[in-house]
Amino acid sequence: MVAPSTPGRAWAEWVKIGGDIVGRPSVTLNADNRLQVFAQGVDNALWSAWQTRDGLAWSAFTTLGGGTLDIPAPVRRRDGRILVAVRGLAGDVWFRAHGVIDGAFEDWDKLGGQIVGAPAAAVGGSGRVELFARGLDDAMWHIRQTGADGGWSDWRSLGGATTTTPLSASLDGFGKLHYFHKGLDNDLYDRARNAHGGDWGPYTKIVTNIGGPPVAVLAADDRLDVHFRGTDNAVWHIPQREDGGWGALKSLGGEVVGDPAPVVGPDGRVHVFARGTDNALWYAVQGAVGDPVSFSDFASLGGTLTSGPVAILDGQGRIEVLARGTDNAVWVRHQKFT
């Protein structure tokens, strides 16, 4: 079966970026919309590589030092500067950030806390970075910038309970910031508040009995679409309704390992990528923008993955998918123009 793609785009072959990493890489956009990838190295330092100016070639991996025990959490702030947070070797949270747009990273800064697993990062409606993490008590914990370029609040417990990470946090199109987690009862929970601040609303159970952690994406119609691996190892999703509530749960099929990686393509349709039980990259595509029911069957994009994938839309309007290969290097496969 020919792998589906956005009209006018086909898939290029796999390309090796390099590195010697542990776990899944993370990726975000620079201020000029070039991709920058971050990963935990085999030395437990934070390593990074970035696209060159033409958006096709990549730099060599460079160490940013420090120490991390899990997947990094990079985020692009409103002015284009990148901040990347990590779980440190002692279980506390540290970050490095650009001092100026596309400039060098400033020194490591400690945010404290005691967390389990990787933190999740999001930019709130006021442009401040907000971090979410699982604490040693299995509750959700939260810390946020007190200004768009200012200091940080203290860590605050948001309650709840989970034994899986990472969490997922995202703004919706209704002016709310959400975070999602799998509870101790294996159910999917959502909690939200006004994007600019204020009190958090109550936890809302939106799905019962899920297999893996949820991953949310903001669809082209400004509604969140939450994806997760089911107990049957298929990919499932639940979309937000036009009133901000939650629609019908639907299986997208497939047989996957780990967490799915949804992304909105250049034509506005949601594309969902996952590592198959054969360790290849598989994906399915939404039939039409805003259609929560119609998705293609899963098709293989090949490769041999040793981590889950991460997907992003680059500055040239192409989807790029990155993962760790059998050589512990980061590999990428991207759409190309036809």
Residue 4 within a domain: no
Could you give the number of structural domains in the chain? 1
User: Does 273 map to a domain?
Assistant: yes
* pLDDT reading at 234 higher than 60: yes
What's the pTM? 0.95
Q: Tokens 């389990």, residue?
A: 116
Give the Cα separation of 26 and 75 in Å (integer). Answer: 10
List the domain range (segments joined by +) for residue 96: 9-337
Residue keyed to tokens 């929560």: 292
Residue 125 pLDDT grade (very low, low, confident, very high; cuts 50, 70, 90): confident
- Four-CA torsion 274, 277, 280, 281, nearest 10 degrees: -10
Q: What is the pLDDT confidence band of residue 126, given thresholds at 50, 70 and 90? A: confident
Residue 3, domain member (yes or no): no
Domain presence at residue 169: yes
Q: How many CA atoms lie within 13 A of 50 on its CB side?
A: 18
Contact 214, 191 (CB under 8 A): no
Q: What is the CATH number of the domain that holds 314?
A: 2.120.10.70
Q: 21: burial class by Cβ within 10 Å (0-12, 13-18, 19+)?
A: buried
Q: Band of the pLDDT at 8, cuts 50, 70, 90?
A: low
Q: What is the pLDDT of residues 154-201, one digit of tens each?
A: 999 999 999 888 899 999 999 999 999 999 999 999 999 998 888 999
Q: Using DSSP, state whether 247 is helix, strand or coil.
A: coil
* Residue 1 lies inside a defined structural domain of this protein: no
pLDDT of the residue at 1: 45
Q: What type of residue sits at position 184?
A: L
Q: What is the CA radius of gyration of the chain?
A: 19
- pLDDT tens across 99-118, in order? 888 889 999 999 999 999 99
Confirm whether 2 is domain-assigned. no
Tell me, yes or no, whether 76 lies in a domain: yes
